[in-house]
Structure 1
Amino acid sequence: MGPSWNLIADIRELWSFPFMVNAFRAGTIVAVAAATMGWFMVLRRQTFAGHTLAVIGFPGAAGATLLGVSAIYGYFTFCVAAALVIAVIPRGGHGEFGHESAVTGTVQAFALACGYLFIALYKGFLNGINALLFGTFLGITTGQVVVLAAVTVVVLAALAVLGRPLLFASIDPIVAGARGVPVRAASVAFVVLLGAAVAEASQITGTLLVFALLVMPAATAQALTARPPLSLALAILIAVVVTWLGLGIAYYSVYPIGFFVTTIAFALYVLAQVTAWLRRVGRLR
């Protein structure tokens, strides 16, 4: 049965099922965490590191499935462990950026190989692999929502403490270091927090489409405004709206939620880029 023209009735129907209520709760929590961390990630130009962490969530979840435990433990274990490896890579000069990319890519390739190995060793049904890759809102339990909420509180609390020096170090690390900001420590802490945020988002969008919540809301917001507080708030709002729309559409569809979340987020990003281009053309005239 598809949606009706009565939006209020459709929303009531969605929220009449406990699994959809949990899906909206989990999706909102994940959207807030992913958009917040993604905003700093885009600002710091560490999207490749974020992509690697997203991909690493796949072998983590596959390994957990192989061991017979919840995929959530695999997501967090692999993503945070990989974040620690990436975090110790020096960042700074041109050569160091090349070294960072090389090591990050190596970690990504090895993690993918582990994921395929875990799938080959798994003797059960592989229907759940699609959910690991492309996301699902089915089967989200109240316990998982609690875990996601607890992780988000810890991540956002740590980011609140780290936020001001991290913003300074992200914009101008040389001046920040000269002013006494612990640039290296802030970078390490941020990547670890990013790993936790990626592990969260992967459970909704899947490991291949986690960028839908991690990158596109932040990139869209930064294209619309250069004011950090407004841009960050806008990124969070976009991520929540995209997630809610994706959940609502996926409920009436047989296709994975990740597709709808990604499509809506991409459409908003394109719209933001067109808007920014029209503004530039207007100033030139």
Structure 2
Amino acid sequence: MNWPDVWDAMFGGVADYGEILVLVSNSVIAGAVLGLVGGLVGVFVMQRDMAFAVHGISELSFAGAAFALLVGFDVVTGSIVGSVLAAAIIGVLGARARDRNSIIGVLMPFGLGLGILFLSLYDGRSANRFSLLTGQIVSVQTGQLGWLIAISAFVLLGILLIWRPLRFDSLDPQSAAARGVPTTAVSLGFMLLLGLIVAVSVHIIGALLVMALLVTPAAAAMRIANGPLSVPVLAAVFGFVSAVGGILLAVMGTLPVSPYITTISFVIYLVCRVLGSRRDRVSTRAALRGAR
């Protein structure tokens, strides 16, 4: 392994950092929006134990984007169609956790296989194919940026509109149903919103690593907070830092953006886990002293 070459691939563009940053400004904006909304959505993903569903939806989103690339159609639209289709199937057929996991297990290899087939038939630039799997820092064009922001804003608005019943259904579905909450409609609505934000994520971090923005920030926030407001706020902040920080670091080199984003997200989780463990130990000791 030639370490100078590795260093150059990671940070070799520092000298031209300002000029390169201007070229990827669309990706920075899209990453900031995605990090905020993705972190917020991730809280409900964790509360509903649907981390596996994120990966399943991303595979069909990848297949839709790959098909759009093959036929010369808009890639964003293709990924949205794939994501929404997967979300609808999981939401309608996977009401129970066991059914949901089995359906996702069936959809994942099917979507990944279709995506690989479409990419194999595509004879265009190899960078376009690679970016669908691992993300590409310059993949967000000016025309697509408006759509990505609009989709993220729509998801955010949808989450805010169903916030209370969704939170109730996520924490205690049996009581929510007994209180008259339309749990089926709430679940399906959340799945569709999740499908949309996954489609946006594919264009920033790639289909294989979307959980770094839709699961890890929320998991980190839940390690150090438990309030109804503090957890979503922290998750959104962690998602923002991971996405924007990863893009700003990736500008320095020639590597895909996803390793930077996933690394930052993972480090945040590790720090929160350590802090949460220390807090739990202190609380336990305090409780034992009080019991004496």
User: Normalising by structure 2, what TM-score?
Assistant: 0.89
Q: Which residue of 1 aligns with 2:133?
A: 133
Q: Which residue of 2 aligns with 1:81?
A: 85
Q: 2-side partners of 1:3 and 1:90: how far apart?
A: 48
Alignment of 1:88-167 (within 5 A): 88-91=92-95, 96-167=96-167
Letter in 2 for 1:48: F
How much does 1:159 deviate?
Answer: 1.2
Secondary structure of the 1:88 match is: helix
Letter in 1 for 2:69: T
CA RMSD of aligned residues (A): 1.7
How much does 1:283 deviate?
Answer: 2.2
Structure 2 residue ranges without an equivalent (≥5): 1-11, 286-292
Q: 2-side partners of 1:55 and 1:284: how far apart?
A: 42
Q: 1-side partners of 2:101 and 2:139: how far apart?
A: 36
Q: 1-side partners of 2:251 and 2:127: how far apart?
A: 19
Q: 1-side partners of 2:64 and 2:24: how far apart?
A: 25
Secondary structure of the 1:138 match is: coil
Secondary structure of the 2:73 match is: coil
Contact map agreement 2:140 2:203 (CA 8 A) in 1: no
Q: 2-side partners of 1:127 and 1:23: how far apart?
A: 16
Secondary structure of the 1:259 match is: helix
Q: 2-side partners of 1:167 and 1:257: how far apart?
A: 33
Residues 11-51 of structure 1 show CA distances to partners (whole Å, capped at 9, x for unaligned) of x6565x2x322111111111122112111111111111111
Q: State which of 63, 67, 70 in structure 2 corresponds to 1:63.
A: 67
Q: Which residue of 2 aligns with 1:241?
A: 241
Q: Paired residues, what number?
A: 274
Q: 2-side partners of 1:104 and 1:32: how far apart?
A: 26
Q: 1-side partners of 2:171 and 2:265: how far apart?
A: 26
**Mean Cα displacement is larger for which, 106-115 or 174-183?**
106-115
Sequence identity (%): 34
Residues 199-250 of structure 1 show CA distances to partners (whole Å, capped at 9, x for unaligned) of 0111100111111111111111111101021110111111111112111110
Alignment of 1:132-211 (within 5 A): 132-211=132-211
Q: 1-side partners of 2:232 and 2:139: how far apart?
A: 31
How much does 1:129 deviate?
Answer: 1.7
Structure 1 residue ranges without an equivalent (≥5): none
Contact map agreement 1:35 1:235 (CA 8 A) in 2: yes
Contact map agreement 2:135 2:257 (CA 8 A) in 1: yes
Letter in 1 for 2:31: G
Contact map agreement 2:139 2:203 (CA 8 A) in 1: no
Letter in 1 for 2:120: A
Q: Which residue of 2 aligns with 1:251?
A: 251
Secondary structure of the 2:105 match is: helix
Letter in 2 for 1:74: G
